[in-house]
Chain A
């Protein structure tokens, strides 16, 4: 970490720091939001370097490039001079209309689409007026291109007038370009973070180094619900390089000169833990309990028509159970946080999706005020939701360690710590009972979901849990287009509690609702002896965006033509985060294992900013979903997680990578998200393909062909 790099708030860089008060009373088109204070988002230096401050963090999704594209579209600047940087934790970087600063919910582009374009437009307006003053002409006579202002045969760079521009009053309103005039939005732009990341220069949280910094490893409870009884640090303190052993709420921290000493020291700790209350969660018993719970409706989310009567009268019924296990996010960069306390001043370096919440938590623990806390966000080596925790677990723990240690510390989690550390995608069970008419169309649908609430007990509870329903448990189900025309339907939810901490994981509830819905629809299609595509298209006849995506994915995959011998295709479509994604998967069975050869995705996200980045996100999300479908499984025994590293919690590898084709439909609908939605449809698409191939139905993730019925 370059400690000399100071945030813009303290910076005294020469040139344009476009400074002005927020024109609160002024309203800009197209939304009734005040214009952004461009000084918080943009700096232009005399050498024409354009620093763009990102309110969202880069964790692989490409926002390091996407937000600058929005600014550049309106600023007409030289793209090669752009230098993005992460924002510090500050209220101005809250998501427009939401207030809090976070990266998640596939919202980084669509939530900032107006604001970052406005930043570019405001800055351009001020630069043009500064140049007009210098040339003694009117702004209308000045043109801009690639960071150069021109008036007749006279030219100035943005850097030349940046200092004068900063003294001007900001515009009351700006007019953004019409989509037809876009030169950057919608074009293929390569990532701005490539050069650092391919040369080992990029700084991740794990890479923070400065003189005097120590490494800490924490021994945490081996089972969820277990508590520390006693520990003996004598042997640990004898390990060369180990300096201190301190107790913190989450366990015992060993502070050493470097990672290796801290690890050896931690291995040498003698430590006793209690048994978890009630014996702790055991996976097999948990699913048995969930199945029992599912026999009766839970808290009602939807109840239309008389479902019980309709099911009792029905002559044709299908009942299926779908199960998904706990999942660890397993970002390639294990969790870590560095904290330096200097009097009442605190500096934090953390790859976090929630800089605001995390710095507040740390301030409280350390006993200072939030304004004394400076949080630096290095690159995130993957996030997937794990680095956005309302409980601020890894930053809060580091605050306790730093406070107790009395020296600057980097708390590093080993891979095993990361995998055992909780905050998993919860395990869920779905019981789905559907009655059909003689044509095989659903007439009654009873859907019961069982699984822990992610939002209960968090600050998000107030708007995420309504009438006892955690929407993140049923998103993609309660609002499924397939259910709209079903006369009698009930969606209900049981949210049992236990000691295993849970959290959102890429595409959140859709990771299981899409699997249950698109598997059941496929079961219904086959029961009706209909082509799975035709059956879906008929049910979605008044949902043109869904129908178009399905048809496109099917056409591009050659649906209807014979697949290669030994192969079969399956499909699925699902909407999440405002985007509709259809996928076909072509599979075979090789050496008793499922092999996915080809995935074809059709994506309707409304409007797209960077096709290059979009494709990467769709491909990456499919790999993420496929990894869960083929391998992802954490099991517990007495509260202890049974898996520990990549040998028993495998990731998809390059030789298992399918060919993935991505096709985009720009429907003009409101802009959807793109980081998460493609995760959801792949598991059912593959399960449906396996059914087409073998006649056997996979209803449990990850897939086990021996369990197919």
Chain B
């Protein structure tokens, strides 16, 4: 089966029902996408399919088709952070960090759709991402900051 991930084509030996999450983690060694619940309740496994956020834990690989998969690894690197990651760093969001790949993937997609989200729009987009450490206040702050940074502000 063919998967287009982070700009490259990959041939994976997977049963079609295998969730995309496990194909990414166990077959392609892309471990930035996390397993948290397996039932689309926590958002830790969020990736983009053609730019739209989806829960990889309930997305069978056979349903992906030719759509482009983007994972946290392709959003930015420590040396070249994406603007949302830069905001995350400045707002000092993370604690344990396990949910943060998913939080950032959801936030990146939100800001692509809604450049200046209100608190209510942030809540609406981010409510599917659980953070057990309780970083929500700083997540909200970082999204507002990323919105300003994206538009050239501080």
Contact = CB atoms under 8 A, between A and B. Distances in A.
B32 interface: yes
Given A198-B89, A209-B29, A654-B123, A332 B98 contact: yes
**SS of A interface (majority):** loop
- Tell which of B15, B29, B44 has the most Cβ of chain A within 10 Å: B15
Interface in A345-394: 379-384
Contacts of B77: 199, 201
B56 interface: no
B135 A616 contact: yes
Nearest to A381: B98
A655 B35 CA distance: 23
A622 to B, nearest CB: 7
Interface string A88-114: 000000000000000000000000000
A175 interface: no
A99 B37 CA distance: 37
B98 to A, nearest CB: 3
Interface string B104-141: 10000000000000000011101111111111111110
B94 interface: yes
B144 interface: no
Contacts of A414: 38
B85 interface: yes
B18 interface: yes
B51 interface: no
B89 A332 contact: no
B107 to A, nearest CB: 11
A202 B88 CA distance: 15
Interface string A184-224: 00000011011111111111101101000001000000000
A196 B126 CA distance: 22
A61 B131 CA distance: 14
A382 B34 CA distance: 13
Nearest to A240: B15
Given A331-B132, A653-B127, A197 B42 contact: no
Contacts of A659: 137
Interface stretch (A310-318, A539-547, A643-651): A643-651
B7 interface: no
Interface in A497-534: none
Nearest to A197: B97
Contact of B104 (A198, A215, A624, A651): A198
Interface in B33-83: 33-39, 41-42, 44, 71-73, 75-78, 81
A620 interface: yes
Size category of the B interface is: 35 or more
Given A206-B35, A623-B136, A645-B39, A260 B95 contact: no
A334 B132 CA distance: 12
A62 interface: yes
Contact of A620 (B14, B37, B76, B135): B135
Given A199-B77, A207-B31, A654-B129, A622 B134 contact: yes
A651 B42 CA distance: 9
A487 B26 CA distance: 64
Contacts of A612: 92
A646 B15 contact: no
A297 interface: no
B100 interface: yes
B92 A198 contact: no
Contacts of B71: 200
B96 interface: yes
A200 B103 CA distance: 11
B2 interface: no
Q: Which of A193, A196, A203, A655 has its CB near the most chain B CB atoms (within 10 A)?
A: A655
A332 B130 contact: yes
A647 B133 contact: no
Most buried by A among B32, B42, B97, B104: B97
A495 interface: no
A647 B96 contact: no
Q: Chain A CB within 10 Å — which of B15, B101, B134, B138 has the most? A: B134
Contacts of A193: 94, 97
Query: Which of A59, A62, A195, A647 has the most CB atoms of chain B within a 10 A radius of its CB?
Result: A195
A206 B94 contact: no
Nearest to B125: A654
Given A201-B78, A332-B44, A646 B98 contact: no
Interface string A118-135: 000000000000000000
Given A191-B94, A260-B19, A612-B92, A652 B39 contact: no
B36 A260 contact: no
A660 B95 contact: no
B10 interface: no
A60 interface: yes
Contacts of B36: 332-334, 415
A521 B92 CA distance: 37
B42 A194 contact: no
A657 interface: yes
Nearest to A256: B26
A200 B92 contact: no
B11 to A, nearest CB: 16
Interface string B22-34: 1001110111111
A471 interface: no
Contact of A199 (B76, B130, B135): B76
A338 interface: no
Q: Which of A194, A331, A382 has the most CB of B within 10 A?
A: A194
A332 B42 CA distance: 9
B145 interface: no
Nearest to A612: B92
Interface in A624-682: 624, 645-647, 651-655, 657, 659-660
Nearest to A1: B31
Nearest to A259: B22
Contacts of A645: 37-39, 41
Contacts of B131: 332, 654
A655 B125 CA distance: 10
B32 A201 contact: yes
B97 A379 contact: yes
Contacts of A576: none
A227 interface: no
A616 B18 CA distance: 37
Interface string A573-601: 00000000000000000000000000000
A616 B34 CA distance: 23
Contacts of B134: 619-624, 652, 657
Contact of A382 (B26, B31, B132, B137): B132
Contacts of A236: none
Given A209-B31, A215-B26, A260-B19, A330 B132 contact: yes
Given A260-B15, A260-B18, A620-B134, A206 B34 contact: yes
B5 interface: no
Nearest to B35: A206
What 5 A-B pairs come out closest when comparing CB atoms? A200-B32, A623-B134, A381-B98, A60-B96, A197-B97
23 contacts: A60-B97, A61-B95, A190-B92, A193-B97, A194-B88, A197-B100, A198-B76, A200-B71, A200-B101, A201-B77, A207-B25, A260-B22, A260-B26, A332-B99, A332-B131, A381-B97, A384-B132, A646-B37, A646-B39, A646-B41, A654-B122, A654-B123, A655-B127
Given A331-B96, A657-B140, 15 more contacts: A62-B95, A199-B32, A200-B71, A204-B34, A260-B15, A260-B26, A332-B42, A332-B99, A334-B36, A616-B92, A645-B39, A653-B136, A654-B126, A654-B127, A654-B129
Interface of A: 58-62, 190-191, 193-204, 206-207, 209, 215, 240, 257-260, 330-334, 379-384, 412, 414-416, 612, 616, 619-624, 645-647, 651-655, 657, 659-660
